[in-house]
Amino acid sequence: MSVSFWQDSGSSNRIQKDIVIIGGGLAGLSTAYWLQQEDPTLEIALVEKYEIGDGASGRNAGFITCGSVEHFNRLVEKHGREEAALIWGFSETNLNLLKEHIIKGSEDELLFEHNGSFSLASTDTEFKELTEASNLMKSFDINVEKVDEEDIKKRLGAEGFVGGIKYIDDATVNPLKMLRMMRTKIEQHEKNHIEFFENHEVSRIETENGNKVVHTKKNRIEAPIVVYATNGYSPLLDDFFKDKIFPTRGQILMTEKVPPFMEAACYANFVLDYFRQLPTGELLIGGFRQLQKDVETGYSDQTTETIQKALEEFLQTHIPPVRPASITHRWSGIMGFSVDGQPMVGALPTDPQLYFVGGFTAHGVGLAFNAGKTLVDAMFDRPVPAWISAKRLA
């Protein structure tokens, strides 16, 4: 939202901090969490336009997936064996860190399930590629299992798929509850110096006497360092992101509860579409933005008839156990797709006082906690892997 002169002149309340983090999603809170672990005396403001989790982090499907947004063979083709192993390992570490620091002891409350996930092929061409990916993954000691049409019917209740593979180590969660748990852990730290400013939209950032000045309608918050954890919204705040981070919409629908029938969550159609049954019985299905790529961009989080209809048709065609179930929720959210599909972490090449963590390209639940940790490495001059470093986009 733009801010008028009349509204802006209200922001005279001055606050001084060591670091301002903009964005109350997984990226912002993960960064806050790891900064607190690094140095709990740091005075940090976390500034969120709405409430914590109102962005993509509270609207996603809750897959904690290892790897990347494409089949593993393509990751190897693009990055080579060595870097592909690093990228995969990064997301495995993300899950292990989440389990150890946030989820442990609250698995049931967070609806956390460590049951793996499937990638399903509806054509022989994709199954051939998945088979190639699976063989390659085995050569990297990644835990993977190949399944056929009958397995898919029996174990997932799904029809119309010729085969697939199971990533044994993936997990699922209620992403909003996990984010709120992260906030609780931060606030319960015995030396907490992190202050949350919800319902504070940042309108602009200026430089004054070596400090950054972050303007909201209610406050001006000054700090030597600012972190953008603003996902697909980043180009609205800083032109640097205009050709690097692209706002992209994702849509979901959810059915009423049905008796449990799925062994684990599933991707289909080259990881573009996905469905999972919650431990409480509801079935969630999302994807299909490929049908209207030109429409599924920008900042509106409305649902559209075309995509929602495609989701319903998929459900009727492929998932018999939920055919009679009524639909209870439809929603969408805005993601930040990066120019090369990998996240971007570190100081902006244009300004060493501005940092960024984001560009998760539909994959932030599987990446953001470790990305926040990596950002703290960058801030404390420890090395950051080249494939994820913001420096690569200079």
Ligand X SMILES: Cc1cc2nc3c(=O)[nH]c(=O)nc-3n(C[C@H](O)[C@H](O)[C@H](O)COP(=O)(O)OP(=O)(O)OC[C@H]3O[C@@H](n4cnc5c(N)ncnc54)[C@H](O)[C@@H]3O)c2cc1C
Judged by phi (left if over 0) then psi (alpha if -120 to 50, else beta), residue 60 lies in beta
Q: How far is the CB of 132 from ligand X (least distance, A)?
A: 24
Identified binder of ligand X from the candidate list 158, 366, 373, 393, rule CB under 6 A: 366
Identified binder of ligand X from the candidate list 67, 247, 250, 372, rule CB under 6 A: 250
Does 390 engage in binding with ligand X (CB under 6 A)?
no
Q: How far is the CB of 167 from ligand X (least distance, A)?
A: 13
Does 277 engage in binding with ligand X (CB under 6 A)?
no
Nearest to 103 by CA among 177, 194, 29: 177
CB of 57 or CB of 277, closer to ligand X: 57
Which positions from 313 through 342 interact with ligand X, judged by CB under 6 A? 333, 335
Residue 28, classed as helix, strand or coil, is helix
Identified binder of ligand X from the candidate list 229, 258, 310, 375, rule CB under 6 A: 229
Distance from first CA to last CA of the chain, Å, rounded?
Answer: 28
- Site mask, ligand X, residues 179-218, x = CB under 6 A? ----------------------xx----------------
User: How remote is the C-alpha of 172 from its chain's centroid?
Assistant: 13
Q: How far is the CB of 111 from ligand X (least distance, A)?
A: 13
Whether 167 contacts 119, CB under 8 Å: yes
Task: Tell me the site size for ligand X, rule CB under 6 A.
Answer: 41
Distance CA 99, CA 104 (A): 5
CB of 122 or CB of 231, closer to ligand X: 231
Question: Facing residues of 330 across strands?
Answer: 253
Q: Where are the beta strands (DSSP E) in 89-224?
A: 117-121, 144-148, 163-167, 171-172, 194-197, 204-208, 211-215, 220-223
Q: What interhelical angle do 175-187 and 26-38 show, nearest 10?
A: 30
Does 365 engage in binding with ligand X (CB under 6 A)?
yes
Q: How far is the CB of 331 from ligand X (least distance, A)?
A: 7
**Residues lying near ligand X in the complex (CB under 6 A):** 22-28, 47-50, 54-57, 59-63, 65, 201-202, 229-231, 233, 237, 250, 252, 286, 333, 335, 358, 360, 362-366, 368
